[in-house]
Amino acid sequence: MNDRTGPQSVSQQGLPVLGEPRPERADARRNRLKVLEAADRLFAELGVKNVSLDAIAAAAGVGKGTVFRRFGDRAGLAVALLDEREQELQAKILTGPPPLGPGAPAVERVTAFLDAYLDLLDRHVELFMDSENASDGARYRIGSYRLWHRHIAILVEEARPELDADYTAHVILAPLAADLHNALRTEGFDLARMQSGMRAVAAAVLGPQLQAEA
């Protein structure tokens, strides 16, 4: 997969914003969402590499040409699906209810983000692995990683202003690498265990307040 470093702007909260989708007709949007939903379901059931465009088109109730024209190939479709899911998470961070969205203490927002991101990663780990390993260092060039890093850095600075917020944000995000997540799943770690572990990591980094709340 190609590195996903799409156009970004700056939100009122100071976070980079993942690229907005191109304007599209209502019928085109419906078809796109049907294809993405079908791909999401089939990828989860069979694995990304075991699903053909023909199967996705049939499950979505559209022609293969529609899928090909919109996404190009299976890799392009996988990138689009991951982008869609990450934009949904971004919207919750920017405008959703607390604690994931604005209005909660910084430490609670960090915990909520870690829980939500791990849930997303667990459901789409194969897509994340392809994206993060597209080339050397791809994970850190992806537009969404820069968004998550900035989000955590802002919260670290609020909760622990004496820390190096940029570096600490990288430390908190490091255990969320897709390769590590997949390896832990192979060893029998379930999602709840990994979420609990990341809460403990955040508590150790951000201090007694989060430890008490966790």
DSSP, residue by residue, 172-201: HHGGG-HHHHHHHHHTT--HHHHHHHHHHH
Q: 100: which residues sit within 8 A by CB, 6+ positions away?
A: 92, 93, 109, 112, 113, 116
Calpha distance 94→101 (Å, rounded): 6
CATH number for domain 20-72, candidates 3.30.70.1290, 2.130.10.10, 1.10.10.60, 2.40.420.20: 1.10.10.60
Tens digit of pLDDT for each residue in 24-38? 788 888 999 999 999
Structure tokens at 50: 């075991």
Q: Which residues of the chain have pLDDT under 70?
A: 1-23, 208-214
Calpha distance 180→17 (Å, rounded): 26
Q: What is the pLDDT of residue 15?
A: 65
Q: What is the pLDDT of residue 143?
A: 85
Helix (H, G, I), strand (E, B) or coil at 153: helix
DSSP, residue by residue, 83-138: HHHHHHHHHHHHHS-TTTSTTS-HHHHHHHHHHHHHHHHHHSHHHHHHHHTSSTTH
What's the CA angle centered on 1, arms 66 and 183, to 5 degrees?
A: 120
Q: What is the pLDDT of residue 16?
A: 59
Domain boundaries, the chain: 20-72, 81-214
What is the model's pTM?
A: 0.79
Q: What is the pLDDT of residue 210?
A: 46
**Cβ–Cβ contacts within 10 Å for residue 29, how many?**
12
